[in-house]
Structure 1
Amino acid sequence: MTQTPHNGGPDRLILHDLACFRGDRPIFLHLNAELSAGHALVVTGRNGSGKSTLLRIIAGFVRADAGEILWNGRDRDDHDLPWRERLHYLGHRDGIAGELSAGADLGHWAAILGVARAGRADRVAAALTALDIPHLAELPVRVLSAGQRRRLALARLLLAHRPLWVLDEPTTALDRSGSALVAGLIGAHLDRGGMVVTATHLPLGLGDRVIGLDIEEAAP
């Protein structure tokens, strides 16, 4: 695919002719999608169809066996800023340290994400409030329910701005109010010019800002 220059306009992500194999068996072939700022790519397909693998390829944890991923017209790795510093990835595992309090765990992630020490406590408090869990700040993570742990993991999205969110079933373990909260977070991120790639059955309520990608259509 010919790479076209990006002239400072809105961010754009292109998946071009991606293929992935598990051993000798192809999971998907010739997968294509284009996503621009303010839009969400919703990946659907049955269990085992390769949704999580695709998200991990986009996030840079797994290499595609063929094809390319372009960010603003250039190979996603051909940039001064490392690719993973352009995105937040939330997988099935919450990545939470059980020996810490909820607030301390989030503070740990804030440091990893480069939030300045001077503003870290305020950023953590704001993220906990946005996920409706400020009352959990001093509780050990090990005593939290699965839904509370998921909210804590989602709070990391708000600690530092990253234009692309890659979310694998973000509403896992959440009740109806939690799922609605996630939809609101995604909508607000898109309003700010962000992008989201997600595998979810959650009705996001975003109208024509949602682009659907049925991964099974790219299956052999």
Structure 2
Amino acid sequence: MILQADTLTVTRGGIPVLEEVSFDLPPERALVLRGPNGIGKTTLLRTVAGLQPPLKGTLTGAEDRVAYAAHADGLKSTLTVAENLTFWARVFGRDEIAPALSAYELDALQTRAAGQLSAGQKRRLGLARLMVTGRPVWVLDEPTVSLDRDAVGLFAAAVRAHLAAGGAALIATHIDLGLDGDALDVSQFRARPQAHDDFDEVFL
């Protein structure tokens, strides 16, 4: 397995939102997280990405292998498209940006400042960052926000290419992207309501 979660409990503001979450993510596969808004998908993804620790359980395979894309595009508005991608490539010890530009049809925009892009173009550039990291696990939180139908197709093609190259993807999305993988409804892991005594302990 490229990534494995074993009985994870994750919290928001110190309060458990999901507990006993377990899944296996093998190479060349995607795992799509389902569930209503507010259930804890973003919290789980942030935990997998290493932005917060789990309260309980273990996560194997995430260390220095995850590239995370959330709602913010992570762009410097004064840098050009090419400069933004070059910056992120160098953060990860790499320098190749041409495939990312091509995959998201950004070649014609590479000299334009990121601050002058439309919302959809910014989103495409933010997602293109994943390709320059060289990391095998993509963790994605609602990645198709601000994308039109054609751009969603570009994104899905990029993920399929990533999987075909031996990578894996963990994605929270309500859109069927036609990827090789499975869906996991995280509603089944909803944390039990806090008893008064448990709630008090959060502040101790």
Do both share a fold (TM > 0.5)? yes
Match of 2:25 among 35, 39, 43: 35
Residue 153 of structure 2 is matched in structure 1 by: 180
Would you say 1:94 and 2:73 are equivalent positions?
yes
Q: Distance in 1 between matches of 2:4 and 2:85?
A: 32
Runs of 4+ residues over 6 Å off in structure 1:
none
Q: Is structure 2 residue 59 aligned with structure 1 residue 69?
A: yes
Q: Work out the CA distance in 2 between the residues paired with 1:191 and 1:54.
A: 25
Question: In the alignment, does 2:132 pair up with 1:159?
Answer: yes
Tell me the percent identity. Answer: 39
Give the TM-score normalised by the residue count of structure 2. 0.88
| Structure 2 residues without counterparts, runs of 5 or longer | 193-204
1:179–1:202 CA contact under 8 A, matched in 2: no
Output the CA distance in 2 between the equivalents of 1:173 and 1:23.
28
Distance in 1, matches of 2:140 and 2:12, equals: 22
With normalisation by structure 1, the TM-score equals 0.82
Which sections of structure 1, spanning at least 5 residues, go unmatched?
Answer: 1-10, 77-82
Choose from 198, 201, 204 the match for 2:177. Answer: 204
Deviations 1:112-147 (A, max 9, x none): 1111xxxx3xx2233111111111111111110111
1:107 pairs with 2:91:
no
**Aligned-CA RMSD value:** 1.4
Matches within 5 A, 1:133-172: 133-172=106-145
Compute the displacement of 1:204 (Å).
Answer: 1.9
Which amino acid in the other structure matches residue 28 of structure 2? G
Return the offset for 1:106.
1.1
C-alpha distance in 2, partners of 1:14/1:145? 37
Give the aligned residue type for 1:113. Answer: F
